[in-house]
């Protein structure tokens, strides 16, 4: 006779043992610098590169570069309780213009004050935590242009549970170009913007930013530390006009021999401004505390992952003593 209680207990134990266990994170401090190399290169870049996907990335930089001041504005409302009773219509929050996305972001991105790993959430570090300043000063002296320098603390998991962190900075090209590099058309006299995709965009609607540097960085553990990065650098250039790859250029000064040569098929390319996208994609095994360099003809990435005191080894934060007023 089958013992149903024993069978049920054994089945529950099997299920419990096979259930996935929550992965415990290892915390690291990360410092990164991305710079544009000064020398020119004869390499050509594909003009079919699609913008890097950043929808599932975590943005630690944006709140520091473009803070949301709506809560502060609300806190500064001059109305007191009597004003709200007597003239509530004058105390209602007034509609404000949407926040304007800057045309240029600061290269160094830091927090005003540090967070704590005890919260469980990653956080940006203040300026005093940066350790690459001297090395970057030497790079600047040699003509390099620093695009981004920042540092943060984060939990690191296995690849399947890892989080990609958004990296972006530099100039915002959205006033002239689409994200795919095409030149934006000028405003028409009707007050709208017309492009060759037959779309109409209101002139008051701000375009999505097209950052000079854009991409993401992922750090994960698989017995060792790994860095997975996908970055794009945008540069203004030119391309042949689609559908007008070549055309005859004639001027009033052209002599008969020039025109005859044109008739024989000699042509010159018609070009238009284009925003080139240059990619740097690498996956690399790294060691904690070593400085690692990702090389590229157009840009370089310097990164250091520093093992830190783990939250389980930290003293719980003590509550702040209340202020004593007299």
Q: Over the stretch 219-268, which tens digit does the pLDDT of each residue have?
A: 999 999 999 999 999 999 998 887 765 554 445 555 555 555 555 544 55
Residue 89 confidence (pLDDT) above 70: no
Distances (CA, A) of 286 to 11, 46, 218, 220, 290: 43, 30, 12, 10, 8
Residue 23's pLDDT is 86
In the 8-state DSSP scheme, what is residue 134? H
In the 8-state DSSP scheme, what is residue 84? H
Residue 17 confidence (pLDDT) above 60: no
pLDDT digits (tens, 9 = 90+) for 164-212: 999 999 999 999 999 999 999 875 443 344 444 444 445 445 679 999 9
At 70, phi and psi to the nearest 5?
A: -65, -40
Residues 41-67 have a mean pLDDT of 85
How far apart are the C-alpha atoms of 295 and 37, rounded to whole Å? Answer: 10
Cα of 293 vs its chain's centroid, Å: 19
In the 8-state DSSP scheme, what is residue 116? -
Residues 273-288 have a mean pLDDT of 94
Half-sphere exposure of 249 (CA within 13 A, CB side): 8
Residue 59's pLDDT is 96
How far apart are the C-alpha atoms of 95 and 97, rounded to whole Å? Answer: 7
User: Band of the pLDDT at 33, cuts 50, 70, 90?
Assistant: very high
Residue 25's pLDDT is 93
| Strand-pair category, 193-194 with 26-36 | unpaired
pTM of the model: 0.73
User: Band of the pLDDT at 287, cuts 50, 70, 90?
Assistant: very high
Angle at alpha carbon of residue 142, lines to 141 and 145, rounded to 5°: 80
């Amino acid at each position: 006779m089958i013992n149903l209680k024993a069978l049920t207990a054994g089945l529950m134990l099997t299920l419990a043992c096979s259930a996935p266990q929550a992965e415990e994170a290892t915390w690291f401090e990360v410092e990164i610098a991305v710079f544009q190399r000064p020398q020119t290169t004869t390499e050509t870049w594909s003009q079919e590169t699609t913008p890097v996907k950043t929808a599932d990335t975590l943005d630690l930089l944006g709140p520091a570069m473009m803070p949301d001041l709506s809560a502060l504005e609300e806190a500064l409302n001059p109305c007191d309780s009597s004003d709200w009773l007597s003239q509530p219509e004058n105390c209602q929050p007034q509609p404000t213009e949407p926040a304007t996305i800057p045309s240029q972001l600061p290269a160094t991105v830091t927090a005003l004050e540090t967070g704590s790993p005890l919260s469980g959430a990653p956080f940006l570090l203040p300026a005093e935590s940066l350790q690459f300043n001297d090395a970057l000063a030497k790079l600047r002296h040699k003509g390099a242009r620093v695009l981004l320098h920042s540092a943060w603390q984060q939990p690191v998991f296995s690849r399947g549970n890892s989080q990609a962190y958004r990296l972006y900075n530099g100039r915002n090209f959205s006033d002239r170009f689409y994200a795919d590099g095409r030149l934006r058309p000028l405003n028409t006299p009707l007050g709208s913007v017309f492009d060759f995709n037959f779309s109409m965009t209101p002139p008051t609607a701000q375009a999505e930013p097209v950052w000079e540097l854009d991409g993401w960085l992922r750090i994960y553990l698989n017995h060792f530390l790994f860095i997975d990065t996908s970055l794009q650098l945008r540069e203004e250039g030119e391309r042949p006009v689609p559908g007008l790859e070549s055309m005859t250029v004639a001027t009033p000064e052209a002599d008969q021999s020039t025109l005859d040569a044109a008739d024989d098929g000699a042509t010159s390319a018609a070009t238009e401004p284009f925003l080139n996208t240059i990619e740097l994609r690498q996956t690399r095994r790294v060691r904690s505390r070593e400085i690692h360099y990702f090389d590229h003809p157009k840009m370089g990435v310097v990164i250091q992952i520093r093992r830190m005191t783990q939250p389980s080894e930290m003293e719980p934060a003590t509550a702040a003593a209340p202020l004593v007023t007299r």
